[in-house]
Structure 1
């Protein structure tokens, strides 16, 4: 009869407790909840996609969830190049390039100002830094509608109302509080010894910021870019009020296309224009999602 030692040697080294693979009621409930939530989230997107590739003859039949019998991409071409917003039939591409001209400088300036503010408030701490930070933080929670009229008067006084520089200034102002909070918390989570060592070596305010802090800020800069690009791209009310008729962003153009009452209401073109408007935020979330999580985990919510 083999002894205990031989039995241990005969037992495979990888043997361990068997994992239970059967479905428990709790696991079934979790899967059912996740499937239902995903279904509710994806159902509107499915309706938009299938409607955008159907001819109007199929849409009039009322089968909202049915797949297209005769698939067509003509609604996408019309939405991009020839959809009408009142008397102007230039499609949504005009609003796309307007949004690009608004988003790029607005994102750059709001992040630049927020990074400098967060750096100053977290490491240099000037007199009254707590009060200034409190004011900036309070500005992040003031509704946009409350500040529209005063900003209209101010921009009109300096001759920036209804212009591209004016809407860039507005987005920079509204993005500054959140960006300041983001960068302040990130810089506060960094080792203070690095900053003190740079001060001892004779580094000044801007030298430490550009040569030490900015190279270490890549994760939080990616988070800030994602937040600002998606927020500014999806904006409607600020672009409608401050951009002017020649600089209307894509969201305003989309609203004008959908609400145009001249002729037949083309639901397939409207759905295609809606998807085209949302492609940039969707692409950013799908491509940069992991970078967003890394930036958050590296200090965006610390401090």
Structure 2
């Protein structure tokens, strides 16, 4: 009798379900509203924007603001749009994703299976580095990169991104490999596999879920970075985020809100696309061991 009485009624279940749907819809609307305003504003002319109808759909949609944002808007003294910043961001993000992931996977593999002397101490230092704010390390890194003759160059900027990515990348792969049966590693050793052969032929092919998680985190982190690109990029390697800041803060007359919105959407297009395309893979990777250990 008590079990029957404790069972929730269908009306209570439906009420809870609809309440959850309402809450999720409210959250989605809250986060989607700014994106909607940016999108519709980017398709409006300045005459229509002056009417003050923020949420209204454009009466005569135009792509002129997008064309100006990409190719002609001023980002300081130069009026070449955010196009140059886009290709700079691509040049930074591709190696800035591949190199830290490979090094993080190598570190995690060594710490999980080979366990070198002093490995736990080094791992502790890496984890300590993860809690040091970026702003605290900027000035020492400027001195180090300058002493190496790499300041304002792509190798110097990649070195800085790799340094800041190492703690998280190492933690992710170490925890992932900690969930792999050690018998598999021992069997590979018995078959004559060495350090590099086991890593390349066995561990990396097994790491697809974690590689996807790490790639998503690193792509979005490097692409959205502003501070490191501004400080270490020099004049010729400014990423798209810095160019966007220059577009918004450069005023040579009337502030073009439609161009600013279009430039913002162009800058955020790559991270949005990455999340939309690979969001489910991110969840699978997390479930496959990203937070184990």
Same fold (TM over 0.5): yes
> What's the Cα RMSD here?
1.4
Give 3-state SS (helix, strand or coil) of 2:61's partner: coil
Alignment partner, residue 102 of structure 1: 92
The more displaced of 247-256 and 216-225 is 216-225
Q: 1:87 maps to which residue?
A: 77
User: Residue in 2 aligned with 1:268?
Assistant: 258
Among 147, 150, 153, the residue aligned to 2:143: 153
Aligned counterpart for 2:177 among listed residues 171, 187, 197? 187
- Aligned pairs for 1:5-154 (under 5 A) are 20=10, 24-154=14-144
1:241 maps to which residue? 231
Q: Deviations over 1:163-194 (max 9, x none)?
A: 11111111111111100000000111001101
1:128: Cα distance to partner?
A: 1.6
| 1:232 maps to 2:222 | yes
TM-score (norm 2): 0.94
Whole-angstrom CA distance in 1 between matches of 2:13 and 2:207? 45
The separation in 2 between residues aligned to 1:127 and 1:158, in whole angstroms, is: 30
Name structure 1 gaps, 5 residues minimum.
Answer: 1-18
Out of 25-34 and 201-210, give the one that drifted further: 25-34
Shift of 1:23: 7.6
From 271, 290, 293, give the equivalent of 1:300. 290
Rounded Cα–Cα distance in structure 1 between residues aligned with 2:237 and 2:113: 39
Q: Is 1:284 matched with 2:293?
A: no
DSSP 3-state at the match of 2:53: coil
Size of the aligned set, in residue pairs, is: 285
Give 1:63 shift.
1.1
Q: Displacement, 1:29?
A: 2.7
Q: Is the 8 A contact 1:171 1:232 kept in 2?
A: yes
Write the distance in 1 (CA, Å) between the matches of 2:110 and 2:14.
54
Do the aligned residues in 2 keep the contact of 1:102 with 1:164 (CA within 8 Å)?
Answer: yes
Q: Is the 8 A contact 1:79 1:91 kept in 2?
A: yes
- With normalisation by structure 1, the TM-score equals 0.91
**In the alignment, which residue of structure 1 is the partner of 2:190?**
200
Deviation at 1:22, TM superposition (A): 8.6
Worse-superposed segment, 247-256 or 291-300: 291-300
- Partner secondary structure for residue 282 of structure 2: helix
Q: What are the ranges of 5 or more consecutive residues in structure 2 without an aligned counterpart?
A: 1-8
Indicate if the aligned counterparts of 1:86 and 1:262 stay in contact, CA closer than 8 A.
no
State the distance in 1 between where 2:125 and 2:108 align: 13
CA contact (8 A) 1:83 1:90 kept: yes
Structure 1 residue 31: Cα displacement: 2.6
